[in-house]
Amino acid sequence: MKILVADDDPLSLRMMERILQHSGYEVITVEDGRQAARELSNADGPRLALIDWMMPELDGPGVCREVRSRHGDSYVYILLLTSKQSSEDVVMGLEAGADDYLTKPCHPAELKARLHTGQRILQLEDKLVEAREEMRFKATHDALTSLWNRGAILSLLRSELSRSIREHSPVSLLLCDVDHFKQINDVHGHLVGDEVLQEVSTRLFEAVRSHDAVGRYGGEEFIVVLNGCNGDDLKVRAEQVRRAISDLPFSTTQGPISVSLSVGAITIENWDKSLPIEALLKQADAALYGAKASGRDRVIYSESFVAV
């Protein structure tokens, strides 16, 4: 694990470096507080820090305050080294953002024990962050396909429409439905149906750009949001999406299955933010119904764009 040691005394710095290296740490050394703050600000910087109280440029409490003023970064556990022993000084250091302190000269065994405590706290923080991110993912993603779920994809669509107003750029939408999906379930079983939905999701995701969005609208229906895509581009992009599904059979545990999509497509050039998003979805759904009624495995484009 990386650890930063900041001390303006070269002898103390070298001694501390040797002790920590023997304990298995990857040690980064600096000789003033300003350098320490910069190192701890790096994206891959150390998350353990041993900071001397008295240093040029920026003292130990100053380093603590600067590190704690940042938001959104991984937590840094800071241990202050000080010759100050009054309770007022200790309180000032802790209030500045230090997690712990050691009085100089410190015993190597105590130093190692305090740093092990810091590592345990950082490990706990990592577990809490991981649990939070897992909960956030589950709240916004479909469990079967790992695509955006209905609520999340509609929220992203609203954001893209708002952005299109600000930037005067178009947004296109594809409402896709897997053809004869009930028949797939009836003939091959629901587990194979799940395999098909997962593969459809993978192919849709790979068929669009990294800054587009794909979500599961519900059942066998999917939404693709294509930002910055005008009506002419949509005709090319929609066919690419459709063919991504139909060109190659799906490999399943029951053997290869031919799958196709019906797609309703619409471009929004000048979205009126006073209109409910349901009006747009209704237009896309009507185009999708037209694709189904016309024989499936095709794209139908909405003739009337929602505009101001």
Burial code of 155-189, b = ≥16 C-beta within 10 A, e = fewer?
A: ebbeebbeebbeeeebbbbbbbbbbbbeebbeebe
Lookup result for tokens 């740093």: 115
Read off the tokens for 280: 């747009």
CB burial of residue 261 (10 Å; 0-12, 13-18, 19+): buried
Amino acid at residue number 300: I
- 3 state DSSP class of 52: strand
DSSP string, 264-298: EEEEESB--TTS-HHHHHHHHHHHHHHHHHTTSSS
What does the block give as tokens for 175? 């409402």
The DSSP-derived string for 100-141 is EEEESSPPHHHHHHHHHHHHHHHHHHHHHHHHHHHHHHHHHB
88, 125, 220, 278: the catalytic one is 220
Instruction: Let me know if 31 is a catalytic residue.
Output: no
Within 10 angstroms of residue 150's Cβ, the number of other Cβ atoms is 14
DSSP state of 216: E
> Active-site positions?
220
